[in-house]
Structure 1
Amino acid sequence: MLFRNLIILFFCFFNLISGYSNNDLDNIIFPKAEILNAYTARIPFKLVDHLIVIEAELLGKKGDFIIDTGSEALILNKIHFPFKYEYRETPKQTSGVVNTLDNTLEKQLKEFVISNLNLKNKISDVIDLSHIEKTKRMHLLGVIGFDILKDYEVFIDMYLNQITLTKVDRFGNKLDKKVYLEKITDSISFNLVNHTIVLNGFVNDKPLKFALDTAAEFNQINKNVSKKVLKNFRPNKRLELIGAGNKKIEVLAGKLHLVKLNDTIYFGPMNTILTNLSKMSEAFGLNLDGVLGYEFFRQKRTIINYQKEKLYFVNNPITKQ
């Protein structure tokens, strides 16, 4: 998401820099991926704080990539991929964990390979992610966003700490017909606004619009929502976060109760911060009331199908005591 006032408010505006030539970014390899067939791969992930992080190799370097549905493109960390190849500059903004970025330097990738899964003609942005790397104490090579994920059905499984990617056609139908052992128990439609998943939800039966973002470490609720909604936000502490320009801001953190998407899809109390989402709403061109992130995926094993604009849900296994 083009801003990130969001979750990771401490991820500031970053200076952009160059990209790589088409021939250099031919492939990226996920060494721990389990290849099920020509269309499907399972990739284990670890949680760094509340960020979903997978291990990958690119251009002879091994390190971490953040999975961020709120980011539009593949982003490479300038620190590990320094400026040494020609690039083209296109005025645009990128998003997700990296806030709003002006004059992003884009690079067309000839091919992006997930083991034996190929994604051709993708765009990468090369920017300075050193602030995130230092704050999170990780070897961060980059961020994998919407442009890479949209051609797959994406199963984010916090129960098993793995992501399953299965190729879909332009209508969103899976090319692999027998992907999941788990039974899908519910589903809901969403609106895809540019590259962002927007859900219609409710708090205390008051209708709200939420952005769904895998890299949102905390849920967020707009401090300008109705009092009926805010009655269900129970603050318990203050957090100091660092926003754009390293400006420190203080926010209220607590639990948000009575969140649901419909009468069958509802959530227990979720850790949430109270903040001003006006800049985020401006970036989207619509009024957003909140952001759902890690807390959402922690409670729901979720499958994202961008082409069909639907979420599907799988229950956790029932374990015998």
Structure 2
Amino acid sequence: MRNLFTLLFLAFVMSMHGFSKDNPKMITFPKAEILSEYTTRIPFRLIDNLIVIEAELLDQKGNFIIDTGSETLILNKVHFKTRTPHNRKSRVTSGVNAVIDNPLEKRLREFIIKDLILENKKSDVINLSHIETSKKIHLLGIIGYNILKDYEVFIDMYLNQITLSRVDSKGKRLDQRGYLEKIIDTVDFKLKNHTIVLETYINDQKLKFGLDTAAEYNQLNKRTSKKILKNFFPSKRLMLVGASGKKIEVLAGKLYRVKLSDKIYFAPMNTILTNLNQMNEAFGTSLDGVLGYEFFRQQRTIINYKKEKLYFVKFPLNKQ
């Protein structure tokens, strides 16, 4: 096994300014399949448990990570040069393992997903070179909440595809056609700023977990109660690299007896034990943990931000 693992829980608090006037202001996804005027389907690859889609922006081809833990669209400073405004105010962008000071700012006049056009979207420009190096990909950026919130987002790890279907202000899908797959369960969540917060149970103890597509491992706060920690079985120590490149050592193992309800429960999940205090302070939350890839691997999930609901889709009978 590798002795260095990279954890990405990329959650940011951001806003921004514009591109140079000489550059086109659009991003396209050449492999997207248009299902209707309101719905598009995009295939993805899993790279170390991260959802990665191919995109083109400003004549560059590369990859974007889908990250529900990020508030905005993030562009990789390595590939997108920008002016530094003289009057730019000092700001702080927070990740799970570190704080990144003063990200550069941009505003995209248009963000285009094939024929779906999103205007005046916010973005930040941050150096993501350490992620490029560790994942060995050409990374253009990260797609977060301010892009995803206007859609029902169907994350399908079974077929390796993400489907975006536009919704109105109340969360009703504009596409009148239903899903071909059967929805078998639903749960409510609370949206805290841009963070999806789920009531989660471990051995009947109620906890609050954030849901993040870019968490390669589930995370459990090491300061949680002993009753909860009895369900965590450590197996090794890992060295993780956070959003700023800072390394921390954590315990990794399996977390047992996790469920959302009496009907929605999970097999043991790969989990790390870490300190979530900094993240909670940055986001004004009080999370006991984070559910990531291990959650989506076990549940084909639809996120509706407007309704604050998750829908779970049935697996085919030949599920491995």
Counterpart of 1:199 in structure 2 is: 198
Report the Cα distance in structure 2 between the residues aligned to 1:261 and 1:170, rounded to whole angstroms: 27
Distance in 1 (CA, whole Å) between partners of 2:115 and 2:178 is 16
Counterpart in the other structure of 1:77: 76
Q: Give yes or no for contact 1:158–1:298 (8 Å, CA) kept in 2.
A: yes
8 Å CA contact 1:89–1:104 kept in 2: the answer is no
Q: CA deviation at 1:158?
A: 0.1
Look up the match of 2:3. none
- Summarize the Cα distance change of 1:22–1:113 in structure 2 as closer, same or farther, 3 Å threshold: farther
Q: Distance in 1 between matches of 2:224 and 2:186?
A: 26
Misfit runs of 4+, over 6 Å: 85-88
Tell whether 2:207 aligns with 1:208.
yes
What residue identity is the alignment partner of 1:261? L
* Compared CA separation, residues 115 and 86, structure 1 to 2 (3 A): farther
1:126-165 alignment to 2 at 5 Å? 126-165=125-164
State the identity %.
Answer: 65
Q: Mind listing any 5+ residue stretches in structure 2 that lack a counterpart?
A: 1-5
Report the AA paired with residue 120 of structure 1: E
Q: Which one-letter code corresponds to 1:166 in the other structure? A: S
Question: Which residue of structure 1 aligns with residue 42 of structure 2?
Answer: 43
1:180 positional shift: 1.4
Q: Structure 1's 147 and 244: CA in aligned 2 closer, same or farther, altered over 3 A?
A: closer
C-alpha distance after superposition, 1:99-128 (max 9, x if no partner): 533323322221111111011111111111
Paired residue secondary structure (1:101): strand
Alignment CA distance shift 1:257-1:63 (3 Å): same
How far did 1:43 drift? 0.1
1:19 and 1:86 in contact (8 A); partners too = no
Counterparts of 2:30 and 2:87, CA distance in 1: 31
Equivalent residue number for residue 256 of structure 1: 255
User: Structure 1 stretch 274-283 or stretch 50-59: which is displaced more?
Assistant: 274-283
Please say if 1:8 is aligned against 2:8. Answer: yes
1:153-205 superposed Cα distances (whole Å, 9 cap, x missing partner): 10000000000000000110000021410011111111111111011111011
Q: In structure 1, how many angstroms separate the alpha carbons of the residues matched to 2:295 and 2:157?
A: 10
Aligned to 2:168: 169
Alignment of 1:1-321 (within 5 A): 7-8=7-8, 20-21=19-20, 24=23, 26-83=25-82, 89-95=88-94, 100-243=99-242, 247-319=246-318
Q: Report Cα offsets for 1:202-227 as digits up to 9, x if no partner.
A: 10110111010000000000111111
- The offset of 1:93, in angstroms, is 3.8
Letter in 2 for 1:161: N
Which residue is 1:3 aligned to? none
* Partner Cα separation in structure 1 for residue 59 and residue 264 of structure 2: 44
Aligned CA distance change for structure 1 residues 192 and 25 (closer, same or farther; 3 Å) = farther
- The amino acid across from 2:314 in the alignment is N
More moved, 54-63 vs 19-28 = 19-28
Where 1:283 maps in the other structure, the secondary structure is helix
- Following TM superposition, by how much is the alpha carbon of 1:146 offset from its aligned partner in structure 2, in angstroms? 0.4
Q: Distance in 2 between matches of 1:247 and 1:163?
A: 30
Query: What stretches of structure 1 of length at least 5 have no aligned partner?
Result: 1-5
Distance 1:116 1:98 in 2: 37
Query: 2-side partners of 1:95 and 1:179: how far apart?
Result: 38
- Which TM-score applies when normalising by structure 2? 0.90
Q: CA RMSD in A?
A: 2.7
Task: Assess, with a 3 A threshold, how the Cα gap between structure 1 residues 160 and 87 changes in structure 2: closer, same or farther.
Answer: farther
CA distance in 1 between partners of 2:154 and 2:21 (Å): 30
Comparing 177-186 and 267-276, the one that deviates more: 177-186
How has the CA–CA distance of structure 1 residues 319 and 129 changed in structure 2, closer, same or farther, with 3 Å as cutoff?
A: same
Query: How far apart, CA to CA, are the structure 1 residues paired with 2:83 and 2:64?
Result: 22
Q: Retained in 2: the 8 A contact 1:217–1:293?
A: yes
C-alpha spacing 1:33/1:128, structure 2 compared with 1 (3 Å): same
Which residue identity lines up with residue 223 of structure 2 in the other structure? N
Look up the SS of the partner of 1:55 in the other structure: strand
Does the 8 Å contact 1:218/1:294 carry over to 2? Answer: yes
